[in-house]
Structure 1
Amino acid sequence: MVLWFRHSGGKPLYSFDVRGRSFNKALHWSDPLAFGRRAYFVTMSRPAALVVDAVQLDDEGVYRFHVYEEIEILEEKSGEVSNVMDCEGKKMWAFHCGRPQPTLTWLINNKPVEDHTLLKNDGKVVVSRISVSGAERSWLNHTVRCQATNTPLLSPHERTARVEMHFVTVFVDAPNLNPDVLRRR
C-alpha cells in the first residue's frame, strides 16, 4: 500500500492498494477535493510515480509518501507463511518492510508479549521472533497477532495466526472394550 500526503497533512490525498489482490487489480483512490480524476499511479516506470494531469496553482506544495508492505508470519523450521501456530515448541517470525521504519508488537489473545527477539533492523526490513513454550491446553484457538506501526495517522497493520494444538492421550477408560478390537485397528 502506498499513500501520498501534502505537507504535514494527516489525511492521504491518494492511495494505491494491492493488499489481498493481484498487482494488476490494485485499488486506486484519489481525494475528490484534491486531485480527483487528475491523478494516477504509474507502476511501470522506474521509479514508479504519481502523475497529476492539469496541474493547478492549488496543487503547489511539498508532498510525501509512505510505503506499507505486508507482515508475514513464518514458522521457523519450515520457513513457510502460516496462519496457524502449532504450540509444540515452535517459534514464529514476523517480517515487515516499510518506511518510515516500523515498530513490531506481538500479542497473544490481545495481551502484549514482552519476550520477543529483534533479529534484524537494517532500516528497510524489521525481523522479529517470538518463541512459545509452556503452552497450556487453554491456549487452543487463541490468536497470535503481530502489529506493525510506523505512523500515528493510520491503524496498525497486522497479521494473525490461530493457536492449534495436538494433544497426547492421557487416559482412556474403556472397561467394556475388547482388547482384540483395538489390536485390529
Structure 2
Amino acid sequence: MSRDDSQRVFFALLPDDRVREALAAVVARLPPGAGRKVPPANRHLTLAFIGDADAGRLACLHERVSATSMPALTLYLDRLGGFEGSRVWWCGPQAVDEPLLSWVRQLETALEPCGYRSRQAFRAHVTLIRGARGQPPAETIDPIRWEAHSYALMASRPTPAGVRYEVLARYPEDAGMPLSAGASVG
C-alpha cells in the first residue's frame, strides 16, 4: 500500500463547542513554553487508531461501524497527565466508566474483519500539548462533563503548518451513506 492510495485514519469522539471551550481554558492555565499546543480543531479522544487505509479498507471500516450502535456516553475529564517518554500532556478521566470501555471493545471487535488489531490498551485522553518539557502540573481541574452521542472516522492530513484532522464520516449520522477514499461525507 503506497502513501498515494492510502491515508492514516482513526475513530474518535469529537468535543462539542462547550467541551472545546473548557479544554481551551485548561490549556490557557498550563505553563508558558510547556510545548506545542494542539490546535483546538485537532482535539479529540481516539477510540481506535487504524493507521494506513486504502479505499477498500476504508469501505470495510465504514460498513462495519455502520452496523453497530453507539450508546450515549458521559465522560468526566478531570485529570491532567502525561505519557512517560512521549512528551505528551493530556486531559482525561481519572476513571474510565464501563460503558465507554464496553463500547470501545465492541468497536474494536467490529473492526477486526477489516484487519484492525489494537496496538495497546485503551487510555481515554485528549492530547493538549506535544513536545512537552517535563511533567504536567499536579493540579486539580474542574471536571469537564462531555456527553458523547456520536463519533467520527478521521483522516490525518499533513500540511506545512502541521497535521490537520479531517472528518471522513460521522456515526450514526453518515452510516447509510457511501464513503469514498479521500472524500468527506461529514
Return the TM-score normalized by structure 1.
0.19
Return the TM-score normalized by structure 2.
0.19
Higher Rg: 1
Q: Taking CA–CA contacts closer than 8 Å with sequence separation of 6 or more, which of the two structures ends up with the larger relative contact order? A: 2
Which structure: greater strand fraction?
A: 1
